[in-house]
Chains A and B, each alone.
Chain A
Amino acid sequence: MSHDRTKQLLHAYADRQIGAMRRFFLGRHVARCPSCLAELEAIQAMSAALRTNLPAHRASPALAMRIAAALPREAAPSVRRKRFVWPGFAGAAMAGGLAGVALTLVVSGVRPGPDSLVGDVVADHVRSMMAEHLTDVATSDQHTVKPWLSARLPFSPVVKDFAAEGYPLVGGRLDYVDGRPAAALVYRRDRHVINLFVFVSKQGGDSAPGQESRDGFQVVRWRMGGLSYVAVSDVEGSQLMGFVRLVENG
């Protein structure tokens, strides 16, 4: 292949966007032509620089929530707003196997009935760990987490660090449970993550903690002072109940 023609096609060659035949003849020329080889290397160096070094922008969870809130109104203005469950903020970050788990959870989470909330929060919990988006505000300082959440929610959640009891606070983030904005407080128990979702209760009255398991996760729900609490984790049931007692007693 001629030098001029090769020069024109070098980008397609570097990008592997030409057929095998042309690729062969082009490669043969490049191997013998220092100028084409240098150009090819420059293209590849830039490509590598962009791929590894360009600032990585990611969609914020707030954007996902914004879209979630806007979509149903687009679809059916007259229909009551539906619960929305997202398969994940960071699709690209989801490895195949994990993605399968999440999608299963999501699908099981959207079936109607009183228990659907449990599926929801379990999916939220899984997603929070997969999407590398555990916290919007990452700090063990309860005096930072609480005002941050209070400024963004229609209520003011109680935020306490239980590090002394073996449940250190990791941070907090905004989430969406049962169609309502929720505070997600993130704790750790050893190497396990506990997500505590707090949102305005639909039903009135307090209720005692009720425990159930779903898809390998423990879920404890209760109502207190007009707020609904749901704790989700893969820690052992008794450990999660221990955490719930701490939260209850403040």
Chain B
Amino acid sequence: MLALANDTRNRRFELLAMPHLDAAFRLARWLTGNTADAEDVVQDAYLRAFRYLDTFRGDNFRVWLLTIVRHSFLDWLKDNRSGQRIFQPAPVDMEWTDPNPNAEAMLLDRVDSETLGRLVGQLPAEYREVLILREIEDLSYKDIAVVTGIPAGTVMSRLSRARLALRKAWMSNEKRS
């Protein structure tokens, strides 16, 4: 009987969770910066999701799962990089300055994939996560707020700072090369 109950549970979990394995991995990969750690984080998240499956009440399993991935990432940070602050606060000069976009910024859509990946990877994690959730996972501001635990009203300003930071990084990269 227990086996049967677990079987049903397993099947429900497979159907809900496995289609989102790529999304979970992408978020973890961009947060941790490497595949091995990302896989550890995702595995931990999936085991947690399985354990707490019965608490899932919403209608968007992906959002629920990504929230857990982020929690697993934060725990992984505590265990593996104690003392190192990955969630750095944004430098002051990035706060709502008027970027005055110019031709250079427009060229961003011609940057090669590797450079773009490196530039995103070098952003503070709090910027990386909102960018990935918005541009890659295509989540709404409301869902981004759920996943990241920041107030819904601040998602937009976080995103705008993230984009500004990426633009600046790109422009200084251009100047160097």
Give chain A's interface residues, CB within 8 Å of chain B.
Answer: 7, 9-12, 15, 17, 35, 38-39, 41-43, 45-55, 57-60, 63-64, 66-67, 70-72, 74-76, 79-80, 82, 84-94, 99, 103, 106-107, 110
Of chain A, the residue at the smallest CB distance from B159 is A11
Segment 26-77 of B: residues with Cβ below 8 Å from A? 26, 29-30, 35, 38-39, 42-43, 46-47, 50-51
- Would you call A46 and B20 a contact (CB within 8 A)? no
The CA-CA distance from A45 to B58 in the complex, in Å, is 33
The CA-CA distance from A12 to B152 in the complex, in Å, is 12
- Would you call B101 and A64 a contact (CB within 8 A)? no
Minimum Cβ distance to chain B for residue A197 (Å): 20
Confirm or deny: B177 has a beta carbon within 8 angstroms of a beta carbon on chain A. no
The CA-CA distance from A59 to B25 in the complex, in Å, is 6
Of chain A, the residue at the smallest CB distance from B29 is A57
Per-residue contact bits, chain B 1-14, to A (CB 8 Å; 1 contact, 0 not): 01100110111011
Question: Which of A46, A66, A103, A107 lies in contact with B39, CB distance below 8 A?
Answer: A66
Minimum Cβ distance to chain B for residue A53 (Å): 5
Given contacts A50-B135, A54-B113, contact A74 B14 (CB under 8 A): no
- Would you call A48 and B109 a contact (CB within 8 A)? yes
The CA-CA distance from A53 to B107 in the complex, in Å, is 13
Give chain B's interface residues, CB within 8 Å of chain A.
Answer: 2-3, 6-7, 9-11, 13-15, 18-26, 29-30, 35, 38-39, 42-43, 46-47, 50-51, 98-102, 105-106, 108-114, 116-117, 120, 131, 134-136, 140-141, 156, 159-160, 163, 166-167
Count A/B pairs, Cβ under 8 Å: 164
- Would you call A47 and B135 a contact (CB within 8 A)? yes
- Would you call B22 and A58 a contact (CB within 8 A)? yes
- Would you call B21 and A17 a contact (CB within 8 A)? no
In the A-B complex, the 6 residue pairs with the closest CB atoms:
A91-B19, A42-B101, A59-B25, A50-B135, A49-B109, A55-B117
Secondary structure call for the B interface? helix
- Would you call B22 and A91 a contact (CB within 8 A)? yes
The CA-CA distance from A93 to B51 in the complex, in Å, is 27
- Would you call A86 and B18 a contact (CB within 8 A)? yes
- Would you call A79 and B3 a contact (CB within 8 A)? yes
Minimum Cβ distance to chain A for residue B2 (Å): 6
Minimum Cβ distance to chain B for residue A198 (Å): 24
Q: Which residues of A contact B156 (CB under 8 A)?
A: 9, 11-12, 15, 17
Question: What are 29 A-B contacts with C-beta separation under 8 Å?
Answer: A15-B159, A17-B156, A39-B101, A46-B109, A49-B108, A50-B131, A53-B116, A54-B120, A57-B38, A58-B22, A59-B21, A59-B42, A60-B35, A63-B25, A63-B39, A64-B21, A66-B39, A66-B43, A67-B47, A74-B47, A79-B2, A79-B6, A89-B21, A90-B21, A91-B18, A91-B20, A92-B23, A94-B19, A107-B11
